[in-house]
């Protein structure tokens, strides 16, 4: 796989012509099928596929399965029973023996469950389409399909081995997460390059080469319960609330200025008694003004741009936790089921350079990277360390994701499809 990275670095010396004859065929195919692409997008947006609507997710999956079958892909449905979700669609095209291996990532589910008022698309005007999941990310799924169609029409599909994974639980990951994401990690191990078709920051002039990971943490603090008149005494000490406050304050002092790192205490319970309800992000606490708090519990998340940054931050946090106030103790634990970071590797940066050059050659302008702070966790992050290079955020542009006002820029659909298809073709020239 190291050969792929070297070839990417040499890419500017490999491609000289602005738009080749093959690329013109790709462009022609996208224009030919754009009306069908728009119709397909409207069709699947009108199908509710909230993450917990298993039948709805499967229904959308069947639509895309049929389309990939028509293109000659070998399609399978990965049942999600083992991780308590609907499942995933996997579609595979095997190219020539020396073909570049691409993993293309989409997702079928949305945040809009059947009880949501947002169930069907509406046209705001000739170019703006509102609807549930139009940009996050059924628009990206349509781009994947029609970019592949264009490569086939241009006679260059066999230059690529393509594995498409459209998950059914990106918006609400299944559990255990290692089974939920197994289809992606397994495909990543077979791939050279991974491309995610999320909408990124919904700006068609940007793409994502780095995403921060997200890991949950929990802090449990114990103190000595006693009458409040005895607090700070040698026998009773500081109590659980003061100790929890000390720890959180030190987290802020020592780590808040580190670039790209954030850590947020989202829930705190403290008092004479604490009961945390796992899985519901809530609980109860009881106490009195004249009683020293015995227990405190804090839950939150930490987001880092690389595995190395995450490990450094964890060590700092554990060191802080270990230096307790008198008569208190604390335990900090981190979840193993979070999203890993996608670090801004040299391979990722080179992919963006090629993608941007492709865009400029097609007359669509330069593409710049999304700031990692604005790139949340996504399925592509699970390819980190398994592929030579990865990039995301090249799906349909729009905005207001996860709200009833979510919209897609329909006039950008052929632009983004052409850019993706020509980009994938140009990657074959690195082999």
Structure-block tokens of residue 172: 């609400």
The structural architecture, per CATH, of the domain 2-212+341-428 is 3-Layer(aba) Sandwich (3.40)
73-76 contacts, C-beta under 8 A, 24 or more apart: 73/162, 73/164
Q: Say yes or no to pLDDT of 254 above 90.
A: yes
What is the C-alpha to C-alpha distance for residues 247 and 221, in angstroms, rounded to an integer? 10
Band of pLDDT at residue 13, cut at 50, 70 and 90: very low
Band of pLDDT at residue 204, cut at 50, 70 and 90: very high
Cβ atoms 329, 323 nearer than 8 A? no
What is the C-alpha to C-alpha distance for residues 217 and 333, in angstroms, rounded to an integer? 6
Helix (H, G, I), strand (E, B) or coil at 176: coil
Arithmetic mean of pLDDT, 185-212: 95
Question: What is the CA angle 189-191-194, rounded to 5?
Answer: 105
Cβ atoms 228, 321 nearer than 8 A? no
Q: Say yes or no to pLDDT of 111 above 90.
A: yes
Angle between helices 307-322 and 240-255 (to 10 degrees): 140
Chain segment 312-324, per-residue pLDDT in tens? 999 999 999 999 9
What is the C-alpha to C-alpha distance for residues 16 and 411, in angstroms, rounded to an integer? 29
Within 8 A by CB and 6+ apart from 24, the residues are: none
Cβ atoms 102, 375 nearer than 8 A? no
Q: Say yes or no to pLDDT of 217 above 80.
A: yes
- What number of CA atoms fall less than 13 Å from residue 132's CA on the CB side? 24
Q: Average per-residue pLDDT in the chain?
A: 94
Band of pLDDT at residue 373, cut at 50, 70 and 90: confident
Give the pLDDT score at 430.
79
Structure-block tokens of residue 307: 């595995």
Give the pLDDT score at 200.
87
β-sheet bridge partners, residue 247: none
Structure-block tokens of residue 408: 């897609």
Structure-block tokens of residue 178: 């290692």
Pairing verdict, β 398-399 and 407-409: antiparallel
Chain segment 154-172, per-residue pLDDT in tens? 999 999 999 999 999 999 9
Buried b (16+ CB within 10 A) or exposed e, 265-299: beebbbbeebebeeeeeeeebebeeebbbbbbbbb
Nearest to 376, CA basis, from 161, 133, 213: 213
What is the C-alpha to C-alpha distance for residues 260 and 269, in angstroms, rounded to an integer? 28
Band of pLDDT at residue 4, cut at 50, 70 and 90: low
Band of pLDDT at residue 11, cut at 50, 70 and 90: low
- Among 96-105, 225-234, 250-259, 278-287, the range scoring the smallest mean pLDDT is 278-287
Select the more confidently predicted residue: 14 or 126. Answer: 126
Which helix H or strand E contains 217, and what residues bound it?
strand 215-222
Domain topology for 216-334: Alpha-Beta Plaits (3.30.70)
Domain regions of the chain by residue span: 2-212+341-428, 216-334
What is the C-alpha to C-alpha distance for residues 395 and 383, in angstroms, rounded to an integer? 18
Query: Given its phi and psi angles, is residue 29 left (phi above 0), alpha (psi -120 to 50 degrees) or beta?
Result: alpha
Nearest to 170, CA basis, from 57, 304, 300: 57
Q: Say yes or no to pLDDT of 149 above 90.
A: yes
Chain segment 327-361, per-residue pLDDT in tens? 999 999 999 888 899 999 999 999 999 999 999 99
In angstroms, the Cα distances linking 312 to 74, 328, 331 are: 43, 25, 18
Arithmetic mean of pLDDT, 390-394: 97
Q: Say yes or no to pLDDT of 370 above 90.
A: yes
Give the pLDDT score at 17.
57
Nearest to 162, CA basis, from 194, 138, 140: 194
Please report the sign of the dihedral spanned by the C-alpha atoms of residue 241, residue 244, residue 246, residue 249.
negative
What is the C-alpha to C-alpha distance for residues 286 and 299, in angstroms, rounded to an integer? 18
Task: Answer yes or no: same fold for 2-212+341-428 and 216-334.
Answer: no
Pairing verdict, β 295-303 and 215-222: antiparallel
If DSSP states are collapsed to H, E and C, what string results for 281-309?
CEEEEECCCCECCCEEEEEEEEECCCHHH
Backbone φ and ψ of 110, nearest 5°: -130, 175
Q: Say yes or no to pLDDT of 282 above 80.
A: yes
Q: Say yes or no to pLDDT of 2 above 70.
A: no
Report the predicted TM-score, pTM, of the whole model to 2 decimal places: 0.88
Band of pLDDT at residue 10, cut at 50, 70 and 90: low
Give the pLDDT score at 8.
63
Give the pLDDT score at 202.
85
Arithmetic mean of pLDDT, 41-48: 98
Give the pLDDT score at 1.
52
Tokens 């389309």 belong to which residue?
Answer: 67
């Amino acid at each position: 796989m190291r050969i792929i990275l070297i070839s990417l670095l040499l890419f500017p010396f490999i491609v000289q012509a602005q738009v080749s004859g093959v690329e013109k065929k790709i462009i022609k195919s996208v224009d030919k099928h754009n009306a069908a692409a728009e119709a397909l997008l409207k069709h699947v947006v009108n199908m509710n596929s909230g993450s917990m609507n298993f039948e709805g997710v499967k229904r959308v999956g069947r639509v895309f399965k049929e389309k990939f079958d028509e293109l000659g892909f070998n399609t399978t449905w990965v049942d999600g029973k083992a991780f308590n979700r609907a499942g995933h669609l996997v579609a595979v095209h095997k190219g020539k023996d020396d073909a570049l291996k691409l993993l293309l990532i989409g997702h079928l589910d949305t945040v809009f469950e059947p009880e949501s008022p947002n169930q069907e698309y509406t046209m705001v005007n000739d170019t703006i389409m509102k609807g549930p999941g139009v940009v996050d990310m059924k628009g990206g799924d349509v781009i994947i399909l029609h970019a592949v169609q264009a490569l086939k029409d241009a006679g260059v599909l066999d230059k690529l081995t393509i594995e498409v994974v459209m998950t059914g639980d990106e918006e609400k990951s299944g559990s255990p997460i290692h089974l939920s994401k197994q289809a992606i990690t397994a495909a990543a191990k077979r791939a050279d390059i991974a491309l995610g078709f999320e909408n990124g920051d919904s700006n068609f002039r940007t793409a994502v080469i780095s995403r921060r990971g997200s890991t949950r943490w929990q802090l449990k603090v114990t103190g000595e319960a006693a009458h409040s008149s005895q607090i700070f005494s040698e026998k009773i000490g500081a109590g659980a609330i003061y100790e929890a406050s000390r720890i959180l304050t030190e987290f802020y002092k020592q780590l808040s200025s580190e670039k790209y790192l954030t850590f947020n205490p989202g829930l705190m319970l403290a008092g004479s008694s604490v009961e945390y309800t796992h899985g519901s992000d809530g609980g109860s606490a009881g106490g009195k003004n004249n009683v020293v708090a015995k227990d405190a519990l804090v839950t939150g998340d930490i987001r880092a741009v690389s595995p190395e940054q995450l490990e450094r931050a964890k060590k700092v946090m554990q060191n802080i936790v270990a230096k307790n106030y008198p008569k208190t103790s604390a335990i900090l634990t981190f979840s193993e089921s979070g999203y890993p970071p996608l670090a801004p590797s040299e391979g990722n940066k080179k992919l963006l350079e090629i993608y941007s050059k492709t865009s400029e050659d097609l007359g669509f302008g330069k593409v710049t990277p999304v700031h990692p702070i604005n790139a949340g966790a996504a399925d592509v992050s699970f390819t980190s360390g398994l592929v030579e290079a990865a990039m995301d955020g090249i799906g349909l542009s729009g905005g207001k994701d996860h709200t009833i006002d979510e919209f897609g820029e329909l006039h950008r659909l052929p632009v983004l499809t052409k850019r993706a298809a020509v980009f994938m073709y140009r990657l074959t020239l690195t082999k």
